[in-house]
Amino acid sequence: MIDTHAHIDDEQYAPELETFIQRQKNAGVEAILVPGVNLSSLLTVPAVCDLFPGYCYPAIGLHPEEVKGTDEQIQSVLQQLRDALSTRPWIAIGEIGLDYHFDITYKEQQQFVFRTQLDWAIERDLPVMIHSRDATEDCLRILKEYTPKGLRGVMHCFSGSAEVAKIITGMGLYLGIGGVITFKNAKLADNIAAIPLSKILLETDAPYLAPVPYRGQRNESSYMHFVALRLAQVYQTTVEDIKNVTTINAKNLFQL
C-alpha cells in the first residue's frame, strides 16, 4: 500500500515518529506522501521526509483555506513557494484547490492561487493533489482547462457523486479514497463502483478521517487496510488485489 496523502508533519506524530514509521512498514505500507499546505509546511514537511528518505516524500502547495490577506500578501506567499520549488525535489504540488465550505471571502483569490499552482505543475511536469470542498463546479471547470495541457493528478479525499467521479476520471485524473468509504451512511462505495480500479488511489488524510473501526481516532497509514477491505467488496476482488493495483497506480502517477 502507498498512502498518497498523510499530514505526518503534524506535531501529534512527533513524539513517536520512529516507532510510528516502523509500524506503517510492518503493516505493509511502502511509502507515504506528505502534502504541504502553507509556508510553514516548507520546513515541517521536508524535515519529516528527510528522516525517512525513500519512504516519505514531500509535496509543496498552498491549501485553499490558507489563501487570505491582501493581494500583495498572497503574491508574496506564492513567490516564496515558487522559489522553494527549485530548492529540492518534490513528489507533487499539493494540496491545492478550492474550498468554499466555511468562507467564500477569498473565492476569486482561491481560484487565482489554484490556477497559478496548476501552471507550475504543467511547467515542471509534476502531478497535483487536489482539494475540493463545496466547489465542484468551479473546480471541474478549471481542471477541464488544464488536463488538455497534460495536467496529471489526484482528487484527494474524493467523496462526490457518481457523475463527478466519471467526469474526473474521464479527464485522466485519479480518485484518492480514504476512510470515508467505510462510514456507515457514505454513498461513496456506490458512487465509485463504475470507476475502473486503475483510477483509484489509497490515502488517509491522516491525522483526520480514520476509517471504521478507528473512526474518530487519530488516523495512520496502516489503517488503509480497512479502506482496501471495503474496496475489495466494491470491486468484488481480494484485498491483496486492491493493495497491489492501487500501489501500482500510485507508482505510475507519482513516478516512484
Q: CB neighbours (10 Å) of residue 138?
A: 17
Q: In angstroms, what is the minimal distance from the CB of 107 to Ni ion?
A: 20
Q: Are 65 and 97 in contact (CB under 8 A)?
A: no
**CA-wise closest residue to 219 among 23, 18, 66, 43:** 23
Phi first, then psi: what are they for 44, rounded to 5°? -70, -40
Q: Are 38 and 4 in contact (CB under 8 A)?
A: no
Sheet strands (E) in the chain? 2-3, 31-34, 56-60, 92-99, 128-133, 153-155, 174-177, 200-202
Q: In angstroms, what is the minimal distance from the CB of 39 to Ni ion?
A: 16
What span, in angstroms and rounded, lies between the C-alpha atoms of 237 and 140? 31
Q: In angstroms, what is the minimal distance from the CB of 121 to Ni ion?
A: 17
Stretch that binds Ni ion, among 83-91, 141-149, 177-185, 199-207 (CB under 5 A): 199-207
Q: In angstroms, what is the minimal distance from the CB of 7 to Ni ion?
A: 6
What span, in angstroms and rounded, lies between the C-alpha atoms of 179 and 91? 23
> Could you give the angle at the alpha carbon of 79 between the alpha carbons of 74 and 84, nearest 5°?
130
Stretch that binds Ni ion, among 26-34, 176-184, 197-205, 228-236 (CB under 5 A): 197-205
Q: In angstroms, what is the minimal distance from the CB of 102 to Ni ion?
A: 15
Stretch that binds Ni ion, among 22-30, 143-151, 182-190, 198-206 (CB under 5 A): 198-206
Residues 92-151 that bind Ni ion (CB under 5 A): none
Of 205 and 220, nearer to Ni ion (C-beta) is: 205
Q: In angstroms, what is the minimal distance from the CB of 70 to Ni ion?
A: 26
Q: Draw the binding track, 205-234, toward Ni ion (x: CB under 5 A; -: no contact).
A: x-----------------------------
Stretch that binds Ni ion, among 16-24, 39-47, 174-182, 201-209 (CB under 5 A): 201-209
Stretch that binds Ni ion, among 71-79, 167-175, 202-210, 227-235 (CB under 5 A): 202-210
Q: Are 130 and 143 in contact (CB under 8 A)?
A: yes
Of 65 and 205, nearer to Ni ion (C-beta) is: 205
Omega prior to 213 cis, within 30 of 0: yes
Q: Which residue is nearest to Ni ion (CB)?
A: 205
Q: Could you give the 3-state DSSP secondary structure of residue 150?
A: coil
Of 99 and 205, nearer to Ni ion (C-beta) is: 205
Of 99 and 235, nearer to Ni ion (C-beta) is: 99
Applying CB under 5 A, what is the total number of residues that bind Ni ion? 1
Q: In angstroms, what is the minimal distance from the CB of 236 to Ni ion?
A: 30
What span, in angstroms and rounded, lies between the C-alpha atoms of 247 and 156? 16
Contacts with Ni ion by CB under 5 A lie at 205
